[in-house]
Structure 1
Amino acid sequence: SVGAAAGAATRSSLTIATRYATRRRQFEGVPGQEKRLIEHRAHRLRLLPRVARSYALALLQNQIIERIHEQEKLIAAGEWDVANPSDEQTWKQREMESRAAAVKVAATRHATDTIQECREACGGAGYMAENLLTVHKADSDVFTTFEGDNTVLIQMVGKELITAYARGLSDLDPMGIVRLGVENVGDVLRRRTAVPMAVQSLVDAVTDREETDIFEAGYQVKLFEDREANLLRSLARRLRGAKKMEVEDAVKAVDAAQDHLIACGWARIDAMLLEAMVEAELKLDEGSVGKRVFEQVRTLFALSVIDEHSGWYQEQNILSGVRTKAVRAAMNDLVDSLGPWADVLVDAFAVPRALVDVPMLADAGVGEVSRD
C-alpha cells in the first residue's frame, strides 16, 4: 500500500540520517575535540522523536495487516459473506477502511516531514543524489495524494469516529441515555472503537492528571483519549442541528465544521498510534533491556504529541502550564537517554543494506562510531 511504501521510505531515510549523525564529527565541545552530531541535543530532537513516531506507525500498520488476515480467514471459512455481510460485519469493514485511511494519511504526512528533516540534518551531503535522501524525497512526495488526498481521507477518519459515537448512542435504552449524563464521550467511544483490554486497564488506573507520573503509559493514553473525546463532543454539538435543516443549510453547517472534523481525525490517529505502542510494550519481557528502551521510545512519542498540542490542553484546563513545561523538559531528558541507542533503534528497522549503504557514510570526516 501507499502507506507502507511511505513508511519504508521514511525508515530508510531515518536510518541514513541517524547513522550519519552517530559518525559525522563537527563543532568543538572541548577545544580540539569535535563532537559527533548526535551528541548535540538539538540534533537528537530533530531525529529521535521522528524515529519514535516511525515505530508507532509500523506497529499500527502491522495490526491492520493482522486484522485483514483474520478477516480473509473468515471469508475463506464461509463465516463472512462479502456479498451479504451482517450488520456487525459491515460496521467492522467500515472501521477497517477508516483505520487503513488513517495509516495512509499519517504515514505519508510523516514521510513528507521526516525525509525533508533527514535531508537537512545531513547538511550538503543530504542533497547529493548518491546519498539517496533526494531519491526517497522525490519518490514519496506524491504519496500524499496517491490513493486519495490526505485532507479528504482524514475527514473519512473523523466521520467514522462520529458515526461510531452516534451508533453507540443509538444502542442505548432510555436508562442508558440517562446514564450518559454521568458517563463521558470516551465511555461511548471505548465501546465502539476496540481499545485493547490490557491498554484500557492502564487507563482505568489513572486518578489525577496533575499528580500522575507523565511517564506512565495509562496516563498518556488517557490524555490522548481526552483530546479525542473532547473534540468529538464539541463537534457533535456543532452538527446536532444539521439533521433538522434543509439540505442546503445542512451542507453549509457541515462545511463550516470541516476543520473541526479534521482535528477529530488527527486525534483519533494519534490515539491509535499510542495504543499500538502500549499494546506492543506489554508483550515485552518485564525488566528486559529491550522493554526499558522501548518504554522511553513510547514515552518520547507520546510527549512529542502532547507538546505539539500543549496549547489545546491548557485551553481545555486538562494540563497546567507547569505540566506542559515538564513535558518539554522530559523530552530533553529522553533524547539524551536514547542518544547512545540511536544506531540500535534504526538498526531494528532492518532496512536492506543496499538502501542505506551510501557514500557519505564513508567520506572524509565520518568515522566509525565506537561501540564501547
Structure 2
Amino acid sequence: MLQTGRVALSCGAVASARASLSIALSYARQRRVAVPDRGTAAMLECWNVQHDLLIGLARIQACTLFGRFVQERFSEEGDEERERLSLLAMLLKPYISRTAFEIIQTCRERCGAQGMFGVNRIPEYLGTCQAVMTAEGENQVLQLTAARRLVMGEHLRTPSEGTDAARTEGSSLFAERARRLRTRIAQGLEAPLGPGEDRFERWNAWSTEAIALAEAQGEALALECLQVALRAEVPSSEGFRTASAVLRVFVADGLRRHAGWFQSEGLLGAEEARRLDVELREACVELLPHVPRVLESFALPEALREAPIAAPEGYVEAWARRFR
C-alpha cells in the first residue's frame, strides 16, 4: 500500500502541473505586453515565456508517461510482486513531484500577479505539490534509499525492457550519466576504509552523489517513456510529429541543464555545448504549433482549469463578469 500511495500522490502532483500549464498557456496566448516596433504582442510570443512554458510542457509530458508506466506495472502485479517494484516507485516520486513543483512555480511566476490569486488555481496546486514532496517518504530520503539499491545492483524495470525502442545519441547521454554516477559511487563505497572511518561516514560522504544518481536515473526513465511513446506513433502522423517535438525539447533542455557535467566527462564538446541554446530555441519553435494537441492529450476535466485567466471568453471579460 505504501508504494501504491507514493505512485498515486506523485501522479496527482503531475496532474496539478498539467492543469497549471493549461491555465498559464491560455493566459499567455491572451495577455498582451509591450514590445519594440510592434507595439504589443501576445505574451507567448516572448521567448522568455515561451521557453519556460514549452520546456515545462515537455517535462510534464515525460512525467505523465513515466507515471503511467509505473501505474501500469503496479496494476499488473499482486501485493507481493509490487514490493519488487518499490525501487521504481522510489525513483518516480522524487523525480516527478519535484519536476511538477518546479513547473507549477514557473507557471505562477510567468502569470505575474494573476498567478498569485487563489481563484486562478495555481497557488492551490503549488501547495498541494509541496505536500506531496514530503508525504509517503520525504523525497531526498527516497532518493538515498533508491540510489543505494541501484549501487547494490538491484534490477530495475525500464519502459523499453522487452522492446526494440531505439535511443537517440542525446538520450543515450542521459542513461550514461546515471551509469557513470552509479559506477563511481560503487567504487567509492568499495574502497578500503580510512583510519577511524566507518561505513556510515563513507556513505554520508557520497550522499550528494547518491541523490544526483537517483535524479539522473529518474530523468533517464522519463526519457525512455517519451521514446516508447514516439515509437508507438505512425511515422507520417501528426501524433508522431507532436511526440517528436516534445522529445526534442526534453532532450535539448536536459543536455543544457547538465552541460557542465557532460563536458567535464568528455561526453559533450565545447562547440556542441554552445549550440544547445540554439537547439533548444529551434526545438521550442517546432513544438509551439503542437501545443493544443499536447494539452488535448492531457484530457483535463474542465473543473481543474476553471480560472478567470483561462476562461474561453478571455480573462478580461471573465474578471469583469465576476465584479458585475
TM-score using structure 2 length: 0.88
Query: Is the CA contact 1:29–1:35 (under 8 Å) kept in the aligned structure 2?
Result: no
1:40 is matched with 46
For these two proteins, the number of residue pairs brought into alignment is 308
Residue of structure 2 in register with 1:364 after alignment: 316
Alignment deviations for residues 134-179 of structure 1 (CA, whole Å, 9 cap, x no partner) = 1112222221111111110111221121122xx6xxxxxxxxxxxx
CA RMSD of aligned residues (A): 2.3
* Mapped partners of 1:129, 1:114: distance in 2: 17
Is the contact between residue 88 and residue 157 of structure 2 (CA under 8 Å) also seen in structure 1?
no
Structure 1 residue 64 corresponds to structure 2 residue 14: no
Cα offset for 1:35? Answer: 0.9
Which residue does 2:175 correspond to in 1? 225
Q: How much does 1:275 deviate?
A: 0.7
Partner deviation per Cα, 1:99-125 (whole Å, 9 max, x = no partner): 112221112211221111111111111
Q: Work out whether 1:146 is the aligned partner of 2:135.
A: yes
Aligned to 1:132: 121
Aligned counterpart for 2:98 among listed residues 109, 123, 134 = 109
Greater relative contact order (CA < 8 Å, ≥ 6 in sequence): 1
Q: Secondary structure at the match of 1:328?
A: helix
- C-alpha change, 1:60 and 1:192, in structure 2 (3 Å) is closer
2:3 alignment counterpart: none
- Report the CA distance between 1:330 and its aligned residue: 0.8
Equivalent residue letter for 1:202? A
Say which of 25, 28, 34 aligns to 2:32: 25
For 2:303 and 2:234, the matched residues in 1 are separated by 33
Q: What is the aligned partner in structure 1 of residue 274 from structure 2?
A: 325
* Larger Rg over CA atoms: 1
Residue in structure 1 matching 2:12, options 5, 20, 23? 5
Does the 8 A contact of 1:25 with 1:365 survive in 2? no
Listed as ranges, the matches of 1:1-372 within 5 Å are 1-32=8-39, 34-72=40-78, 82=80, 93-94=83-84, 96-164=85-153, 193-194=157-158, 196=160, 202-203=166-167, 218-241=168-191, 249-361=198-310, 362-364=314-316
List gaps (5 residues or longer) in structure 2.
1-7, 319-324
Counterpart AA for 1:3: S
Q: TM-score, normalised by structure 1?
A: 0.77
Structure 1 residues 252 and 330 mapped into 2: Cα distance closer, same or farther (>3 Å)? same
Q: Equivalents in 2 of 1:234, 1:348: separation in Å?
A: 40
For residues 69 and 29 of structure 2, the distance between their equivalents in structure 1, rounded to whole angstroms, comes to: 32
Cα displacement (A) at 1:350: 1.4
**SS at structure 2 position matched to 1:202:** coil
C-alpha displacement of 1:28: 3.3
Give 1:31 shift: 3.5
Q: Matches of 2:77 and 2:163 in 1, distance apart?
A: 23
Please list the CA deviations of residues 54-92 of structure 1 after superposition, one character each: whole Å capped at 9, or x if unmatched. Answer: 1111111111111112213xx7xxxxxx4xxxxxx6xx8
One-letter amino acid of the structure 2 residue matched with residue 27 of structure 1: A
Task: Output one character per residue of 1:225-260: Cα deviation in whole Å (capped at 9) or x when no partner.
Answer: 211111112111111136x78996111111111111
Over 3 Å off, 4+ runs: 28-32, 191-195, 197-201, 244-248
Structure 1, unmatched stretches of 5+, are: 76-81, 83-88, 168-190, 204-217, 367-372
Residues 262-311 of structure 1, C-alpha deviations (whole Å, 9 max, x = no match): 11111111110111110111111121111012101011111211111100
Query: What is the CA–CA distance in structure 2 between the aligned matches of 1:336 and 1:116, rounded to whole Å?
Result: 23
Q: Mark the CA change 1:162 to 1:195 in structure 2 (over 3 Å): closer, same or farther.
A: farther
